[in-house]
């Protein structure tokens, strides 16, 4: 099979590997201006608790250097910027220019400046030195990456020894009876909300499909270990609808 023949999933569709990044970019360009509003509506505001839990488990301290991959509108970056203080540094990176611009404007409006920089970058080939960051996070972005193993390797490379990676992502429900309810909500309600708020039903149909195609908790943990991370663990949130994975580089 040639490189041109290789395919990957875009939701439930199979598309040429080279097309996925462009298609994902189209999704987030379409929804960037309403992204935060939709997060509140879709999760009933619970996404804020998931992110707070992530920040608590990150253990970021004053003066440290943090990379938020696929950081979008800057929820995590804002909190990290306050934690690391003026001596520290936070890099908000995203492959999508529209999302990055929304994040830049949002953080400026909230008085976050000086210790945050913005970089348009692909998670699979991060443009940062080896052993550079104390902490790397990626929230609700890994499922959109074409080659997840490459992204994990790239994030491992830029972490300092002793640093940690935290992955917050939709996962597989573990509470008995939750899956059918979650499926009904995801495939019936979410696209309707997307249509009503953003005028874009298809992007939220993709969202539901991309979640189902993402590796489950144990599979992602094994992928992190394969990339070199140690002491890997995960925390199921909201019955496993979301999971926070954490691993360390030693």
- pLDDT per residue as tens digits for the range 43-87: 888 999 999 999 999 999 999 999 999 998 899 999 999 999 999
Cβ neighbourhood burial of 223 (10 Å; 0-12, 13-18, 19+): buried
Is the CB of residue 60 less than 8 Å from the CB of residue 133?
no
pLDDT of residue 98: 87
Q: What is the pTM of this model?
A: 0.87
pLDDT of residue 202: 81
Beta strands in the chain (DSSP E): 7-10, 13-16, 65-69, 89-94, 116-120, 133-139, 159-170, 230-237, 242-248
- What average pLDDT does this structure show over 202-219? 88
Q: Is 229's pLDDT higher than 90?
A: yes
Q: How confident is the model at residue 3 (pLDDT cuts 50, 70, 90)?
A: low
Between 124 and 210, the higher pLDDT residue:
124
Express as a percent the part of the chain with pLDDT over 90: 65
- What average pLDDT does this structure show over 126-149? 96
19-23, 27-31, 80-84, 142-146: least confidently modelled range: 27-31
Q: Is 36's pLDDT higher than 70?
A: no
pLDDT of residue 34: 65
Instruction: Output phi, psi for 230, to 5 deg.
Output: -120, 165
- What average pLDDT does this structure show over 172-180? 94
pLDDT digits (tens, 9 = 90+) for 95-119: 988 889 989 999 999 999 789 999 9
Q: How many Cβ atoms sit within 10 Å of the Cβ of residue 33?
A: 14
Domain residue limits, the chain: 45-175+216-248
Q: Which of 245, 46, 49, 63 is nearest to 165 (CA)?
A: 245
What's 45-175+216-248's CATH class? alpha beta
pLDDT of residue 213: 86
Q: Is 123's pLDDT higher than 90?
A: yes
Sign of CA dihedral 156, 159, 164, 166: negative
Q: How confident is the model at residue 30 (pLDDT cuts 50, 70, 90)?
A: low
**Distances 21 to 10, 91, 92, 146, 239 between C-alpha atoms, Å:** 9, 21, 19, 7, 30
Express as a percent the part of the chain with pLDDT over 70: 90
């Amino acid at each position: 099979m040639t490189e041109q023949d290789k395919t990957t999933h875009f939701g439930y569709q199979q598309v040429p590997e080279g097309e996925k990044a462009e298609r994902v970019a189209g999704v987030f360009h379409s929804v960037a201006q309403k992204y935060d509003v939709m997060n509140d509506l879709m999760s009933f505001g619970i996404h804020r608790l998931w992110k707070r839990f992530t920040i608590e488990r990150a253990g970021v301290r004053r003066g440290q250097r943090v990379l938020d991959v696929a950081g979008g509108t800057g929820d995590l970056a804002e909190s990290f910027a306050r934690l690391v203080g003026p001596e520290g540094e936070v890099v908000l990176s995203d492959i999508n220019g529209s999302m990055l611009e929304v994040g830049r404007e949002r953080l400026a409006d909230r008085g976050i400046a000086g210790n945050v920089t913005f970089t348009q970058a692909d998670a699979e080939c991060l443009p940062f030195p080896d052993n550079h960051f104390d902490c790397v996070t990626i929230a609700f972005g890994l499922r959109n990456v074409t080659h997840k193993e490459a992204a994990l390797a790239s994030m491992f490379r830029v972490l300092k020894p002793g640093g940690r990676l935290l992955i917050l992502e939709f996962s597989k429900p573990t509470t008995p009876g939750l899956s059918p309810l979650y499926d009904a909500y995801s495939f019936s309600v979410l696209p309707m909300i997307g249509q009503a708020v953003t005028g874009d039903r298809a992007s939220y149909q993709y969202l539901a499909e991309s979640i189902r195609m993402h590796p489950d908790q144990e599979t992602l943990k094994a992928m992190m270990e394969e990339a070199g991370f140690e002491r890997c663990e995960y925390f199921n949130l909201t019955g496993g609808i979301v999971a926070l994975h954490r691993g360390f580089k030693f």
